[in-house]
Amino acid sequence: MKEQALTLDRRRLLAQSGLVGMGVALAGAVDALFTADPTLAAGRGGYGDLVPDPAGLLDLPRGFRYTVLSREGDPIPGGAVAGNFDGMAAFAGTGREVRLVRNHEIWEPDSAPVVAPRALTFDPGPGAGGGVSTLVVGPHRVEQRINLGGTSTNCAGGLTPWRTWLSCEESEVRRGEGGHEKDHGWIFEVDPFRPARDEDPTPLTAMGRFAHEAVCVDPRTGVVYETEDSVGGDKHGCFYRFLPRRPLGGYGSLRAGGRLQVMRVPGVPDLSAVQEPGTTFRGVQWVDVPDPLATTEPVRLQDYGPRGVTHAQKLEGAWWGTDGAAYFVSSFALRSYGSAGDHLGQVWRYRPSTGALTLVVIFHGDPYTDLFTTPDNICMTPFGGLMLCQDGVGDSYLMGTTVDGEPYLFARNRQNIGTEASPEYGEFAGVCFSDDRRTMYVNCYEPGTTFAITGPFRR
């Protein structure tokens, strides 16, 4: 989502002079966030200062390098690569091959749509321009193809334990609105290895119809956790879980249905009111959603009784941690948008085994000067700590936190999509790592660009 433009020249100057505040609070060491091998984590301060890129695309720390794998407009069979690159996941293929599954968050009829064959198109209406594409990255070439078309606003999503991608529509548009011939707001399953499975796209309706952002799956139980990106109005979005009728059943098993529930934290109607990292709520409750299809009322606004449910502004990225917990992000909250409190980003941890919800990271400060703000997509690095994509305008950064709890900047997008007088740089999205832990992949939203980054990650 694009917010009002900020004048960030001052922020850039402050960063160069080392005078900018970080405004980040963490609940103890970030190794509590669960990564596979904290001994391999980046040292204090991350990887050092960012080195300006002579090509004007991507600034990285010294010793790191990038390759451009894909750009919007690249020719592919039947057309060109659509823009608005968003959520993404990496799958190990045969030999040294990697398959990157990538969302295209397109919602406007006049935008260049994802052009898919009829068999891969959900809604043939002119307004349904979103979709999913796959990059098959080999040692010597990159192939690109379409997996899904005719969807709307494919934002983020998540991996499944059976190696498929769940693509989320951040939309609540109805049939007949804006050139759409079907209702939208669904989750779709995409198989990066068997294209025939993607034919006749089937929405996973039991998982709810709302402005989906991201999902993560508990690999032990098959429970799917879902975030809802909704801002303003009567109430913000919610955090959900889906209890599948056929848990861990492999491709297509989520079509068998299940039960959708929404989180209730007793005494906490709005997560933005929580400002102290480390705050933990025990006894989190889950309430059945009366009408997951939202036939008459949006899911977040349905009747949940006098105690209601818990809401949060801008619920975005989600990730399943190796410590057996679901992590999810609130990008920001503003009282002026109807929230109970102000912040510039939160990272939450929900541990199913104990029913405990903990605020792990909170970002505060001044959006005009502070660099560490508005996280969106999230992943855990194989070496320790978090990697967070910054969502906003002006300067856009890929942010990290070490296992010792120190935030650092890992990359800056140099591609100006604004004007010289009012620069604006497309946000980062879809950060993920290859299974061999040697390569980081990340998208720039616009101009749509997919990068592969290599270097001394183990340092």
On the question of pLDDT at 459 being above 70, the answer is no
The pLDDT value recorded for residue 354 is 97
Among residues 159, 138, 154, the alpha carbon closest in space to that of 67 is found at 138
On the question of pLDDT at 4 being above 60, the answer is no
Between the CA atoms of 110, 113, 117 and 118, what dihedral angle is there, to the nearest 10 degrees?
-50
CA angle 450, 414, 158 (to 5 degrees): 35
DSSP 17: H
| Structure-token pair, residue 267 | 């005494």
Share of the chain above pLDDT 90, in %: 70
Q: Which CATH architecture has domain 9-454?
A: 6 Propeller (2.120)
Task: Give the three-state DSSP class for 356.
Answer: strand
Among the ranges 28-32, 42-46, 128-132, which has the highest mean pLDDT value? Answer: 128-132
CA-to-CA distance for 318 and 213, rounded, in angstroms? 8
Give residue-wise pLDDT tens across range 328-368. 999 999 999 899 999 999 999 999 999 999 998 888 877 66
Lowest-confidence region among 11-20, 153-162, 211-220, 445-454: 11-20
On the question of pLDDT at 6 being above 70, the answer is no
CA angle 443, 447, 452 (to 5 degrees): 30
Among residues 456, 458, 450, 454, the alpha carbon closest in space to that of 135 is found at 450
Higher pLDDT, 29 or 414: 414
The pLDDT value recorded for residue 186 is 98
Give residue-wise pLDDT tens across range 59-77. 999 999 999 999 999 998 8
8 A C-beta contact, residue 347 and residue 329: yes
| Structure-token pair, residue 240 | 């959900």
On the question of pLDDT at 215 being above 70, the answer is yes
Among the ranges 51-65, 229-243, 391-405, which has the highest mean pLDDT value? Answer: 51-65
Query: Which band of pLDDT confidence, cut at 50, 70 and 90, is reported for residue 381?
Result: confident
On the question of pLDDT at 230 being above 90, the answer is no
CA angle 381, 345, 365 (to 5 degrees): 115
Share of the chain above pLDDT 70, in %: 86
| Structure-token pair, residue 448 | 């749509």
The pLDDT value recorded for residue 402 is 74
Torsions phi, psi of 339, nearest 5? -80, 160
Q: Which residues contact 338 (CB under 8 A, 6 or more apart)?
A: 232, 233, 236, 313
What radius of gyration do the chain's Cα atoms show?
20
| Predicted structure pTM score | 0.90
Helix (H) or strand (E) holding 361: strand 356-363
On the question of pLDDT at 29 being above 50, the answer is no
Give residue-wise pLDDT tens across range 42-61. 334 689 999 999 999 999 99
CA-to-CA distance for 354 and 33, rounded, in angstroms? 16
